[in-house]
Amino acid sequence: MLPLSDDFAREMPHEECGIVGVYNHPEAAKLAYLGLYALQHRGQESAGIVSSDGERLYSHKAAGLVADVFNEKNLATLQGDCAIGHVRYSTTGSSISANAQPILANYKGGTLSLAHNGNITNADELRAELEERGAIFQTTTDTEILVHMIAQAGARNFDEALFLSLMRLKGAYSLVVLRPDGLLALKDPRGFRPLCLGKLGDGYVVASESCAFDIMNAQYLRELTPGEVIAFRGGAARSSKPFPAADQSFCIFEYIYFSRPDSMALTRSVAELRTRLGAQLAEEQPADADIVIAVPDSSTSAAIGYSQQSGIPYAIGLVRSHYVGRTFIEPDQNIRDFGARVKYNPVRSVLQDKRVVVVDDSIVRGTTSRKIVNLLRSAGAREIHFRVSAPPWKNPCYFGIDTPEPSKLIGATARDNDEIRKFVGADTLGFISVEGLQKVMPKTQGYCMACFTGEYPDGQRPSGEFTKDILESGKRHG
């Protein structure tokens, strides 16, 4: 039995979370649920909502998809007009339920709930320090570290405790914080991960992506700025910037791959940006071909852009199954490239004897790309020109994307692009350049492109191995 979502999933980088917050709306939990549904692509492992009626907090979270975790009955228990929510992707099986967010805890300052998207790069060090002072850890999440820091901060009030704690965090964090007296939404000083603000009736909403607002029929206002903290209390929203100024390092991969095409990338849509990336790719890496096809669905915009720029007609050469995501029983007599075949079906009559440009949005390990090339060849494609709307991925991410070890990144291990081409089995292979990428991206903000360039913001590369691995295998269960 092969869980399809895991099959290809392994191949692609993973976002760890999507978060949402609803302030001052009579159906706060239901709206948070709608928002999480729209953010489902950011995490399929667990989902949770904590709501507040001004006195108590109410929680429901479990492993599974948003539509499975929540129902009329448990949504009804999530009382009050404020709520925060979270969807999570993670890698370990056993910790699914324990690590589900939002985290909910009592401490001397009262009750507190947090949901987090990002990765704290000095988590290991902070955790050790907290343990030294007697803290116990029941999850492997960074979020629990922050709650401990707040509880031990010895501050005069909650806001002070929170900011004293945040000052010590390194890395990426977009956060929503719920207490009986209100809701806070904030971004780390470099603004690695997205978080945007919207308006709904008399209240406000925040979410990792603006597509969450569309389903609620909320109005998109803007992206939070790096280091911005918005406190929703007493019916009003107040913005502050308590952190020292820092260069912005918005994750470029949000635009290239993670975000839904209908979400906003600053003033444009992600779909529009990707179309431009495809056009730039066509300029840099032309091909003599008959058709341009996409690896659906995330590369579709880039493929359209490539087609428009190059004048080579766009066609549907791979059809994606709509029912993927369930476990799937494979015959004993293995079917060649079964995992790929269940997900994608090549359209023979479109591909037969054609010189094909296939546009994908990234190559991580290269094995998926190889299977796709196989499928296309088996469907009769004469030439395959593989084009990638991102530069080669050479470096691990420490800011919230779950990447394979560097030794498994074909961009890092291959001697040159021709070695990648051979592995993948394409006739030609071309990546967009880092310069080309920069040229396309809106200049109004700064980006983290460390995965491509190795230039980590502030040199925030942890000294040792992956933070995630350290926490989980080195310490956790034994």
Binding positions for a copy of itself, 94-113, rule CB under 8 A: 94, 97-98, 103-108, 110-111
Nearest approach, Cβ of residue 181 and a copy of itself (Å): 10
Nearer to a copy of itself, 350 or 437 (CB): 350
Instruction: Please answer whether residues 19 and 70 qualify as being in contact, where contact means their C-beta atoms are separated by less than 8 angstroms.
Output: no
Q: For the beta carbon of residue 325, count every other beta carbon within 10 angstroms.
A: 15
Which of 156, 245, 332, 416 touches a copy of itself (CB under 8 A)? 332
- Report how far residue 157's alpha carbon sits from residue 433's, in angstroms, rounded to the nearest whole number: 49
- Pure H helices in 361-414: 367-378, 410-413
Q: Indicate the residue among 11 and 209 with the shorter CB distance to a copy of itself.
A: 209
- Give the residue, chosen from 6, 8, 12, 137, that forms a contact with a copy of itself under the rule CB under 8 A: 137
Q: Which of 158, 149, 139, 141 is nearest to 19 (CA)?
A: 141
- Interacting positions 185-244 with a copy of itself (CB under 8 A): 211, 214-217, 220
Identity of the residue, 336 or 422, whose beta carbon is nearer to a copy of itself in the bound complex: 336
The stretch near a copy of itself (CB under 8 A) out of 33-41, 168-176, 416-424, 455-463 is 33-41
Of 445, 64, 35, 41, the C-alpha closest to 258 is 41
Binding mask of the shown chain, residues 246 to 275, with x at each position contacting a copy of itself by CB under 8 A: --------------xxx-x--xxx-xx--x
Burial of 206 (0-12, 13-18, 19+ CB in 10 A): buried
Residues in the chain: 478
Q: In this structure, are residues 295 and 344 in contact, taking their beta carbons and an 8 Å threshold?
A: yes
Contact segment (CB under 8 A) with a copy of itself among 145-153, 403-411, 419-427, 432-440 equals 145-153
For CA atoms 273, 257, 471, 186, the dihedral sign is positive
For residue 64, the minimal CB distance to a copy of itself (Å) is 11
Neighbouring residues of 323: CB distance < 8 A, sequence distance ≥ 6: none
**Distances from the Cα of 223 to the Cα of 220, 256, 427, angstroms:** 9, 17, 41
Q: Does 157 sit near a copy of itself (CB under 8 A)?
A: no
Interface pick for a copy of itself out of 115, 135, 166, 356 (rule CB under 8 A): 135
Choose which of 222, 238, 241, 348 interacts with a copy of itself (CB under 8 A). 348
Catalytic residue among 17, 196, 211, 448: 17
**Is 211 a known active-site residue?**
no
Cα dist. 80→86, 153, 205, 335 in Å? Answer: 17, 29, 15, 52
Confirm or reject binding of residue 314 to a copy of itself (CB under 8 A). Answer: yes
**Residue 434 within binding range of a copy of itself, rule CB under 8 A:** no
Instruction: Specify the residue, 273 or 437, whose C-beta has the smaller distance to a copy of itself.
Output: 273
Report, as residue numbers or ranges, the catalytic residues: 17
